[in-house]
């Protein structure tokens, strides 16, 4: 698959996830009608990743208030996710297992040399269209607050300037994908 672009259909998936003490199937289709924040991280039991994973969990209600679901994904096994989620005290969204690396490849975020996903965030609209993506080096954690701010801005369907916050002025309506 080539480079994903804003406005593309998000690649479909149907993978195992670990959520609330059990293995569950997670798919793009299960998110139909809701926004999806799909974020990739390199590996369980590392230094930066737990800050992001727990950060999304702490803010899960704020994302839900914006009609958004959250999925975290790495190339780790379900058993690794189970152990890690328990160590972290539980999470408010599923961790997807991408052991075969198909999901990471389909989204263009697999570091083939290292065999792990890059740090990447996708915001997918309720129709399954990619509206936002950020991919960065694995050494720098992402801002969960910024992801939520961007989601809120996208949901306005209006022009939102740099550092825009809900309640601030926006520009004219923009073309929807």
At residue 151, the 3 state secondary structure works out as: helix
Q: Is 49 a catalytic residue?
A: yes
Reported as half-sphere exposure (CB side, CA atoms, 13 A), residue 118 has a value of: 17
Neighbouring C-beta atoms of residue 146, cutoff 10 Å: 12
Dihedral sign computed on CA atoms, order 166, 91, 18, 136: positive
- Give the H or E element holding residue 56: helix 49-58
Q: Whats the size of the chain, residue-wise?
A: 177
Complete edge-to-edge strand list for the sheet that includes strand 35-40: 22-27, 14-19, 95-97, 68-74, 35-40, 119-124, 130-136
Round to whole Å and give the CA distance between 86 and 28: 25
Catalytic residues: 49
């Amino acid at each position: 698959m080539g480079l994903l672009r804003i406005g593309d259909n998000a690649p479909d998936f149907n993978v195992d996830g670990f959520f609330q003490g059990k293995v569950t199937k997670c798919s793009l289709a299960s998110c139909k009608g809701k926004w999806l924040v799909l974020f990739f991280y390199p590996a369980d039991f590392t230094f930066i990743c737990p800050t992001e994973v727990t950060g999304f969990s702490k803010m899960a209600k704020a994302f839900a208030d914006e009609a958004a679901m959250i999925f975290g994904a790495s190339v780790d096994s379900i058993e690794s996710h189970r152990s890690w989620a328990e160590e972290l005290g539980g999470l408010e969204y599923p961790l997807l297992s991408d052991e075969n690396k198909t999901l990471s490849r389909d989204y263009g975020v697999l570091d083939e040399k290292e065999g792990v996903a890059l740090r990447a965030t996708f915001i997918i609209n309720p129709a399954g269209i990619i509206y936002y993506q950020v991919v960065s080096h694995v050494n720098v954690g992402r801002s969960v607050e910024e992801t939520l701010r961007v989601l809120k801005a996208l949901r306005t369907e209006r022009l939102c300037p740099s550092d825009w916050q809900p309640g601030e002025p926006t520009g004219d309506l923009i073309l929807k994908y």
